[in-house]
Chains A and B, each alone.
Chain A
Amino acid sequence: MPTTKILALLQETIAGLTRAKVEYADARWERRRQESLIVQNGAVQHLAAAVSEGCALRARVHGAWGYAASSRLTGLRATAAHAVAMAKACALVHAEPVPFPAQPPQRGSYRTPLDVDPFIVPLPKKLDYLLWANQVLREHDAVKTATTSLEFYRTEKLFLSTEGSLIRQEIIESGASMEALAALDGEIQRRSYPMGNGVGVAQAGYEYVKSLDLVGQAPRVRREAVALLRAKECPAEVTTVILMPDQLALQLHESCGHPVELDRVLGQELSFAGGSFLDPSKRGRFRYGSRQVSITADATCPHGVGTFGYDDEGVPAQTTPIVREGLFVGYLSSRESAARVGLSSSGAMRADGWNAMPLVRMTNVNLEPGTTTLRDLIAGTRRGVLLATNRSWSIDDRRLNFQFGTEIGWEIRDGRLGAVLKNPVYTGITPAFWGSCRGVAGRDEWVLHGVPNCAKGEPVQIMHTGHGAAPALFTRVQIGRSHR
């Protein structure tokens, strides 16, 4: 169905909801196209094209929400009736409504800036690229499984509300990854690029894939996977740790991004994802980290997969300070959750598709660059480890006690990188860990990573979130599988 006809259907639906005298309603149409290519051990393993399209309606009656979604665009009147009926049924049992501040009508559009639309690049060219990188990755007998993959998304959105908003967005994301699994004598080790545990993705065109240079990086990835097979086990000790950006992305995600989601803070995720230690009394008072630590939620960051023009309740994208020189100062929030603690929305309501209700989600939660360099961080470390590429992640339901594993580590001895370490693990308590940050490298070494698999909500929604960081140094960190 052409978008002009879809727009007319949505306008008609919003007009009907206005006539029904709801307090507020919005309609969000989405069409997502996705293309996935996977090559494993020199053979094409998976070639898939996907399209999904539908509309979500949200209605507010007497302070209660009703939400309904359907792919039958010609049946939106029934979908709207369902949303209104659910809202009315809930309103009957609510003690008092929670405020939902009005906002001025938004009229605008956003489109991903890009050089090359990934959907017009011929599939054979994409496959050639993956097969070439895969071949280079396999040039060692110990590499038993080599996987290279590409993934592309185009998401078109229309958003209308009874407040008069009309927003069009088109977001294009490109992703690539490679992974070498090396095995010897029953031991198996993995190296990945550009991220562990899945595709590295950016809001960009095919130029992002080219910039990753899978073929050029494949020898390093292969070499490190093989080196891990004969590497020393990461020791268990308390020591200095330097984290690379591809691990800091997960550290930021789990120990900062999730605990500042205001719906979690308010107890709305208790039965699934849990709560947060960052209750509203701590905002502006609590020392989250050292003075080296400034963290920003930035929905305007170029190439970030948490970047957009407007969130999924029509709030313009913003840059929100979360931590400033170690002090906890802000939340990720929605219009309703922000109002409950006397703030205005940070524009972080996002749904993972037309058939999902928007939740407070991360945008791009970034560690601001510092003033030093990785070289100086290493040179200033008498004894420690450098850890890269996330392998495992776990954190408690209030986001305090964490444990992360990385794919690889290196000893640091007397200011120099030493032997490769396998199976590194480190653990800590969130504010103590960030409080031990003693240096962050500068803008030149700052890298923005896309995490494409953030799970939250019931039914579970999978969101793409961005995390930028430069290498950072932390002191007195427990590494290895020991006690804390």
Chain B
Amino acid sequence: MSRSPSHLLGRPRLLAALTAAAGRAKADQTLIACQRGAQTTLRFANGRFHQTFYAESVDVWVKVACDGHVGVATTNAFSPEALRAAVEAAMAMARVGGRRTLAAVPAAPLARAVPPLATYVAETARRPIADTIQALHAVWQRTGRAGYALAGSFTAGEEELAVVGSKGLARYQPFTVAGVKLVATRGGASGYAAATSRDIAQLDLDAVADRAVRLARANAAPRDLRLGRPTGTSFGRYDVILEPEAVAELLEWLGYIAFGAKALAERTSPLAGRLGDRFMGEAISIHDDALHPDGLAVPFDYEGVPKQRVALIERGVAAGVVYDTAYGARYRQPSTGHGMPYDETEGPLPTHLTLAAGTTPRAGMERLLGDGLVISRFHYVNGLLDTRRALMTGLTRDGTFLVRRGKVVGAVKNLRFTQSVLEAFSRTAALSRERRLIADPGSGLGACLAPAMLLRDFTFTGKTQ
């Protein structure tokens, strides 16, 4: 296969088409966002690619306001006729709701400039997929010779996001992303590792595979951990080191249930009515920072508002939530640049969470832990048990390790935790000084930057077989 041509239209053509469509709308305000791109996904297991997937995509979202009433339409066609039809469909929706709607009108987007960001690496978009297929095959063969099978996925793609408004707003940004996820297995033991970057050249497949194999090797012959008696004082509680992948899973759930303005408005967030209260230890500072140089940077949201770095938890204290224009108007706050695609109904959400690093080298954390567990990763976390307490449950996966006197002494079978994450984070004993970028390259523009955490008295409530 030859090098791939770019699928992107580019700034002038894309903005011109959207601006023309917005200009024809007979609405008080119009916003049009368009995300176009092409992505290749390779999924593999058992020594073969079972899914090889190339998709070109176009998504256009139109939001109009007429006499204070809002309508939304979406389409995946990009012709002038299709864009006109989408605008008319949005107008029709706004008119229908007109007699009764009180929905928030999108505020006039701010004229603030967006910072210049380098988010597009041509090599990521152009590298022939046949080269990647060969590279992955070489990695399988190498780990296979060591006795480990690999399953996983590889994704690479490019996309462009543009937002225009009837009042002169015009934003454009191109992106690339590439990522790999690998699970190494041998018998019943498994280990997981992943990497994501805007630059495909930064993905070191061998290093990712080696980490997955290392974890799988350590995860062999897991023992059954006794959780103690339900009435015992030490019932199910262990000091733990959570690796960044496990931390990111908890942070993402916190982002969903706690740090969006909709959860605040509906009072389901633990922060509702408690901004300014202390929730966690002083070591914990959580931000949403889409401009972080170590993250997957994004300069503006789907309403064209520049991304702001938002303090959510500042030294353990509830500091704020993220807003789009509608929720911002409701709370008399400016949008923080967290508007989502207009057909989303979950409200503004933080998609670039960061947890501040600590000062402890990761390599020294077992010694600080003493006796306890190292958790590589969580599986199927659910944070809806009691959102006001951020009570969550989930299981460990792909490596849970027992530590005795500061040394890993073996693997244990997967465990279920049920734990208030607010309480868990308030018992933080250490944060690693290193952080890892955790992102799913196939799922939008988000990412999480997390250190490893040492938490005291983490509650486990079950185990698997």
* Partner-B contacts on A (CB < 8 A): 36, 38, 42-54, 64-72, 79, 82-83, 85-87, 89-90, 92-95, 98, 123-124, 127, 131, 144-145, 181, 183, 186-188, 190, 197, 236, 263, 266-268, 270-272, 274, 277, 355-357, 359, 391-398, 400-401, 403, 405, 423, 425, 427, 429, 458-460, 481-484
B1's partner among A89, A197, A393, A400 (CB-CB below 8 A) is A89
Q: Interface stretch among B96-104, B198-206, B281-289? A: B96-104
CB pair B379 A274 closer than 8 Å: yes
User: Count of chain B residues with Cβ under 8 Å from any Cβ of A?
Assistant: 93
Given A71-B58, A403-B462, A482-B230, 19 new contacts (CB under 8 A):
A43-B103, A48-B93, A50-B73, A50-B343, A69-B53, A85-B130, A89-B1, A90-B49, A95-B48, A145-B267, A181-B266, A267-B46, A268-B151, A271-B153, A355-B57, A394-B382, A396-B416, A401-B463, A483-B227
Roughly how many angstroms separate A68 CA and B43 CA in the complex, as a whole number?
A: 14
Q: Of B51, B74, B345, which one neighbours A357 at CB under 8 angstroms?
A: B51
| A98 and B416 form a contact (CB under 8 A) | no
Determine if B102 and A429 form an interchain contact, defined as CB atoms under 8 angstroms apart: no
CA distance A355 to B37 in the complex (A): 12
- How distant is the Cα of A266 from the Cα of B70 in the complex, in angstroms? 48
Chain B residues closer than 8 Å to A83, beta-carbon distance: 54
CA distance A181 to B267 in the complex (A): 9
Q: Which residues on the A side are within 8 Å of B133 (C-beta)?
A: 89-90, 92-93
In the complex where A48-B343, A94-B49 touch, is A43 in contact with B100 (Cβ < 8 A)? yes
CB pairs A–B below 8 angstroms (26 shown): A36-B343, A49-B73, A51-B75, A51-B77, A65-B52, A66-B54, A68-B54, A82-B54, A90-B52, A124-B96, A127-B96, A267-B46, A268-B45, A268-B50, A271-B182, A274-B397, A392-B385, A394-B380, A394-B381, A396-B416, A401-B464, A403-B416, A405-B382, A427-B462, A460-B442, A483-B462
Contact bitstring B31-63, A, C-beta under 8 A = 1, else 0? 000000001110101111111111111100000
Structural contact, A271 and B192, CB atoms closer than 8 A: yes
Contact between A397 and B462, CB atoms less than 8 A apart:
no
With a cutoff of 8 Å between Cβ atoms, the chain A residues found around residue B40 in the complex are 86
B52 near A123 with CB under 8 A, answer no
Q: What residues on A are CB-neighbors of B101 within 8 Å?
A: 43-44, 47
Residues of B near A392 (CB, < 8 A) are 382-385, 393
The docked-state distance in angstroms from the alpha carbon of A94 to that of B134 is 11
Answer whether residue B178 sits at the interface, using C-beta atoms and an 8 A cutoff. Answer: no
Q: Which of B378-420 contact A (CB under 8 A)?
A: 379-388, 393-395, 397, 414, 416, 418
Known: A394-B380, A482-B230. A123 touches B96 (CB 8 A): yes
Known interface pairs A48-B342, A391-B385. Does A86 touch B414 (Cβ–Cβ under 8 Å)? Answer: no
A397 touches B380 (CB 8 A): yes
B293 at the interface (CB under 8 A from A): no
| B2 to chain A: closest residue by CB | A85
| B30 adjacent to chain A (CB < 8 Å) | no
Contacts of A481 in B (CB 8 A): 418, 461
Is B426 interfacial (CB-CB < 8 Å)? no
Bound form: Cα–Cα A42–B101 in Å: 9
Q: Is B185 part of the binding interface, using a Cβ–Cβ cutoff of 8 Å?
A: yes
Top 10 A-B pairs, shortest CB-CB distance: A43-B102, A44-B101, A459-B442, A401-B464, A48-B72, A93-B137, A270-B151, A89-B130, A47-B93, A271-B152
Q: What are the residues of chain A within 8 A of B134 when measuring CB–CB?
A: 92-93
- CB-defined contacts of B75 to chain A, threshold 8 Å: 50-52
Residues of B within 8 A of A (CB): 1, 39-41, 43, 45-58, 69-77, 89-90, 92-94, 96-97, 99-103, 129-130, 133-134, 137, 151-153, 155, 181-183, 185, 190, 192, 227-230, 235-236, 265-268, 273, 342-343, 345, 379-388, 393-395, 397, 414, 416, 418, 442-443, 461-465
Shortest CB distance B156–A (Å): 12
In the complex, what distance in Å separates the CA atom of A272 from the CA atom of B41?
13
Which residues of chain A are near B89, meaning CB under 8 Å? 49
A47 touches B96 (CB 8 A): yes
Which of A145, A429, A482 is in CB contact (< 8 Å) with B266?
A145
**Per a CB cutoff under 8 Å, which of B70, B99, B393 touches A47?**
B70
Verify A427–B416 contact, CB threshold 8 A.
yes
Minimum Cβ distance to chain A for residue B346 (Å): 11
